Structure 1
Amino acid sequence: MTIKEAVCVMRAPGAGGVSCAGVPRWSHSAPAHQADYDNAPAHTHPVFLHDDHINSRFAIWQGDISSLEVDAITNTTDETLTQCNAVNERILQVAGPELKEEIITRGYECRTGEVVLTPGFGLRCRHIIHTVSPKYVAKYHTAADTSLHNCYRNVLCKASEIGARSLALCLISAPHAQFPPDLAAHVALRTIRRHLEQQRTPSLVILASSCAPDVALLCALAPLYFPRSAREADAARWRLPDEPALHDRRIRIIHNPHSHNSDTAEDDTSTYDEEAAVEAAAAFARACAPDTQRLLAPNNARPPYERRPRIDNHDQYERLLRRARTEDLSEISGIGCLYQSGVDRLGRPVVVFIGKWFPIGDIDLDKALLYLIKLLDPIVRGDYVIAYFHTLASSANHPPFSWLKEVYTVLPYKYKKNLKAFYIVHPTFWTKMMTWWFTTFMAPAIKAKVHNLPGVEYLYSVMARDQLDVPAFVTEYDMTINGLHYFQPDTNNT
């Protein structure tokens, strides 16, 4: 079978979902014609023996990886999991906004060679295993090979850990990483073969790419690691490169970090042994930890709000809800900054938040979160709207972003789904900028639901006047800037 024929056999059958059962296994392809070699082989004995069982667990496939119906797929990305490359953009597009929201709200980060697991959301898979490819620099090729090997190995081990029976592997070495395609293919095939030799899961690994030249290269090199006959295994002795001794990355601390030369782009990578900056970054992170900041802060300084350790969102919310129902929250409820005020014209409850009455420096933000949950939990079971009045609020009323992110993360999906509108009345330039930033990078699911309103009158198109109960200073301020014209008979009332 020629390489061209192999590519045609393994090409995606068409648009839509592709069942992994329909992907041809490597064991079903015919062995390649073997050339005669005059020189001595590089290996005395075959390194990878012919094994039909292993070959039946491996496939090379050309097509859109996001269309495969498998238990898990791989995403090659950067440290923030939002890199712009063909594979990552396609996965984010098909998975839908929930994946991006998950990444942003949970603050996922991934170091080179490591993996992060997320749900598949809109994809045809249960899990997405994200990993970060190293950059290839010829000067440090051994470290680059090791890091790329770690990417594939950790993805395969994570798939085994979660019990995935089928795994779709993309080519992790993205084009911008400048990895020579043949070297990257050798690393991928060798790591997959070694894993399948040692582990029973996944029962199927599909190495997928939408690029025909990449698939052709994989088909040309795969017989070296997955021989389909004893003769093909023997012939691989001439072409198979030596298997490198791969070790986990170690950090070497040099005595004088300024004593060695920096070769600009050649030293621009975070995966190489020479980079003692990793240890320095860790020390800096420790210095910036909340406990360290509290020790260095003045005695009279108010300790910053500390985020809770990440645990399962549902369990965390249920625990907070139980606390909210049993603890004394009169201190927060007595402030009167958050309450329900009637319904809108569609019968949906209206929750009012008064920004000026939210004294950040004088309240316990943990109890504020509990009161928020206690008030909203029975309301958010159906559709609802929020009206936030920023009237005469100052910087002393702005909650810290760490708390806002914590609130948004801990609240279940029903809060975001059933929220139909979030009105901000009397916004300032600062409010508009911060709202744009928050809904763009932290809460994209509610971005389209946020509306900035210059006055109270604009609320009357969606709710009757007698359903809106706001403090007197709000209406007085509104009259000074908008006049009295909106205090007219409610002709829209139904």
Structure 2
Amino acid sequence: MPEGMDPLGARSQFVDIQTLPTWQQLEDDGEHIPRDLSDSLLSQQFFPSPFPFRPDINCKIILFTGDVALLNCTAITNTSNELLNDKNPVSERIHQLAGPELKDELFKLKGVVSRAGCRTGEAKHTKGFNLAARFIIHTVGPKYKAKYRTAAESSLYSCYRNILQLATEQSMASVGLSVVTTAKRGYPLEDATHIAFRTVRRFLEKHGSSIEAVVFAVSETEEAVYRKLLPLYYPRSEEEERVCLPLVPADIGNSEGEPVVPERQIRIAEKPGSLEDDSEEDNLESDLDQVGNHAFARMEGDVDKQRKLILQGHMSEAAMQKQHQRNYNRWLCRARAEDLSDIAALKALYQTGMDKCGRTVMVVVGRNIPVTLIDLEKALLYFIHVMDHIAVKEYVMVYFHTLTGEHNHLDTEFLKNLHDIVDAKFKKNLKAFYFVHPTFRSKVSTWFFTTFSVSGMKDKVRYLDNLQQLFTCIRPEQIDIPPFVLEYDARVNGCSQSSGL
């Protein structure tokens, strides 16, 4: 028998998740609730639970006590280190069953991405090879230190969020989630489980329509904690929801389950003895604190007011930068808190693969932006929400102007205000803006906009008349192109231009 081949019938060890009971099907045994608490609370009234009874979500949740490597999910998760060579029971078992090809692919992944195959909080995927799972999603959990608890919480949230985001982007119907926080990384199991459950719950609520099953794969020592905390986030009845509500922790993160970091109020006075300076800055902070329902109407005024203060000598450049950062952070907090599903449904902005330099590719589809029908303030919030974590490292944007009509053109003032309000990292890390299928009029408008309205953009714009030019920068398999764009390019430029697909 060739080395690495499984003996006949060995695949029978794999576990068909279709045979496992869902969380909704498991009966409530009440063991997770202290009896005195349960008896005394049944008749009391409480505020609505932040995690109400949702049988449609519960039917997607499976608690499995056993080896995650045996699950026949579309993807299973491997918890590792940044070099993707960690020695822990979960990872070693996955490597054992997947075969030597996995080690070879991880070595190639490290060479393509960077010296570090996967940073803390990120998620990368490979093939499953000899596993029943088609894919393996690799992630790196944080090392826990009490004094850096906030950072650890944010990183752990990112692990689970990025796993599910990747699964959605790659159309993975089911995911087997191992416990990301290994014992040697020191993260308290119960604290980590709270973050895992609330992150998965919020993702399924907002973005999980394509995910059919999430399997929490645990060991026997971890099962008790998971079984105790699951009802808090996935109550199986209205009664269980009511009884568990007092046990839900006060800290449940934002609307995505992400840990909320209290904003630090930093005061910078260029002349501490000047009451006039303090008064001006107080007034400005008061204005910005009111970012809310009418913020879009005022944002240009906010920026102009800051500029005027600089010209008048009332604010230093450093103070301006701090104020701009606080302003952006308020927009970001609001973007994370609001329901932006209607804007997301337009599919006008989305992340795809990598360009040939290994940079993230973001796509904008002009035809999908009904400017006269949408709330432009929500569009701005959605852009910030999607782009904030993308812009922390180098990225490129592809704008498909294909078949874009007058009703799809964003106003120049909107684009200028957007440019002024976003964080500096957006501008610094944008390395190229590919303008596909431009018209003569759009070229002229873009030239005026990048020359007179914004700085630093003109040299980043590249006009591409056909998809073949785009494929010299981004491989066809690395970008999701709308069908109408492909059809238009084939009709106008000939089938050969799109043959790379």
TM-score normalised to structure 1 length: 0.46
Query: Looking at CA atoms only, which structure, 1 or 2, has the larger radius of gyration?
Result: 1
TM-score normalised to structure 2 length: 0.45
